[in-house]
């Protein structure tokens, strides 16, 4: 068995870092939890985007022609994240809507709220076996404020801008405003026509963009590739792009160095995080970003 890519920090060390970050008020704190999972901490409140913190897909596809071989260490068990105020799921694929992550997470933190695309309500409540009234459903163009976070729904194309019979998006991204910060979590998406015009008005400070690309021969829905992620970040004027959706499964990954090269070539500000690693920033005036400690270079 191949060695797993080690987490930057995990388990108790990660939880201690999340706790310690509270002592830096005025900073936005971001942790990458692997795949599309990110934790935001703002003024002591916690928002979790698209967590996948189990091995459900590896077990499900073991022995099939599409094995989901894990590449990197899991950073924390979901039931240990008891501080979460708000969770999002961008779409119904298991790496973004995992019952083995979300059920223990909501059991351990029963006050956490849950934002999903409204189009997915029946599917989500069936998969999680939760009260159909529990999730907060959003469509594109809609906004909800929860626990100090204001969340705007934007479309995602995975691979198409798919809508249900009532015209509601099945794949979404979310732009979250936390104090002065504007943070874009793309979900899984290609670059659709007009995407940059949807995003520019939000003056995105931090964009979490997938980089694993579109590989139809692998029979998986596609994402931005490294060049597109770097270019989209530049075109929307993002203050920082943090890449995601790689180093989880061997069959569907990308070398983050390809993104680093493209971002450098295009002049896109970026930061590559390792699983469990924190980025902290402070916004003093306008869109100035000032990195706070402790950050290791990748």
**Closer to Zn ion at the Cβ: 98 or 188?**
188
Closest contact distance (angstroms) between CB of 292 and Zn ion is 30
Those residues whose C-beta lies under 8 Å from the C-beta of residue 167, and which sit 6 or more positions away, are none
Interface with Zn ion in residues 106-135 (CB under 5 A): none
Pairwise CA distance, residues 171 & 51, whole Å? 16
Chain-centre distance of CA 286, in angstroms?
A: 25
Binding residue for Zn ion, selected from 188, 228, 262, 277, defined by CB under 5 A: 188
Q: Which stretch binds Zn ion (CB under 5 A): 39-47, 163-171, 188-196, 260-268?
A: 188-196
For Zn ion, the closer of residues 70 and 283 by Cβ is 70
Q: How far is the CB of 93 from Zn ion (least distance, A)?
A: 5
Residue 201: CA atoms inside 13 Å, Cβ hemisphere, count?
Answer: 7
HEC profile of 89-125: CCCCCCCCCCHHHHHHHHHHCCCCEEEEEHHHHHHHH
Rounded to a whole number, what is the distance in angstroms from the first to the last CA of the chain?
A: 25
Tokens of 272: 């590559």
Determine which residue in the list 85, 95, 228, 254 makes contact with Zn ion, applying CB under 5 A.
95
Question: How many chain residues bind Zn ion (CB under 5 A)?
Answer: 2
* Residue reference for tokens 């990660």: 14
Given the complex with Zn ion, which of 86 and 211 has the nearer CB atom? 211
**For Zn ion, which is the closer residue by CB, 85 or 188?**
188
| Binding flags for Zn ion, 226-265, as an x/- string (CB under 5 A) | ----------------------------------------
User: By the criterion CB under 5 A, which residues form the site for Zn ion?
Assistant: 95, 188
């Amino acid at each position: 068995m191949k060695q797993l890519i080690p987490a930057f920090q995990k388990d108790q060390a990660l939880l201690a870092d999340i706790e310690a970050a509270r002592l830096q008020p005025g900073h936005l704190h971001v942790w990458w939890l692997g795949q599309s999972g990110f934790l935001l901490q703002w003024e002591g409140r916690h928002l979790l985007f698209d967590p996948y913190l189990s091995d459900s897909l590896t077990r499900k596809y073991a022995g099939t022609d599409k094995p989901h071989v894990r590449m990197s260490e899991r950073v924390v068990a979901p039931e240990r994240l008891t501080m979460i105020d708000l969770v999002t799921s961008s779409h119904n694929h298991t790496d973004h809507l995992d019952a083995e992550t979300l059920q223990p997470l909501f059991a351990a933190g029963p006050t956490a709220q849950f934002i999903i695309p409204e189009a997915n309500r029946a599917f989500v409540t069936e998969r999680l076996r939760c009260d159909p009234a529990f999730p907060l459903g959003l469509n594109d163009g809609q906004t909800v404020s929860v626990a100090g976070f204001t969340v705007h729904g934007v479309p995602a194309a995975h691979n198409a801008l798919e809508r249900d019979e009532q015209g509601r998006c099945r794949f979404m991204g979310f732009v979250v405003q936390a104090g002065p910060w504007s943070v874009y979590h793309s979900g899984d998406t290609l670059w659709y026509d007009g995407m940059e015009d949807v995003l520019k008005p939000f003056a995105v400070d931090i964009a979490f963009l997938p980089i694993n690309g579109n590989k139809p021969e692998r029979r998986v829905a596609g994402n931005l590739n490294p060049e597109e992620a770097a270019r989209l970040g530049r075109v929307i004027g993002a203050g920082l792009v943090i890449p995601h959706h790689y180093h989880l499964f061997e069959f569907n990954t990308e070398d983050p160095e390809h993104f680093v090269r493209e971002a450098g070539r295009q002049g896109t500000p970026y930061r590559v995080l390792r699983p469990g690693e924190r980025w902290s920033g402070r916004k003093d005036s306008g869109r100035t970003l000032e990195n706070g400690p402790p950050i290791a270079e990748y």
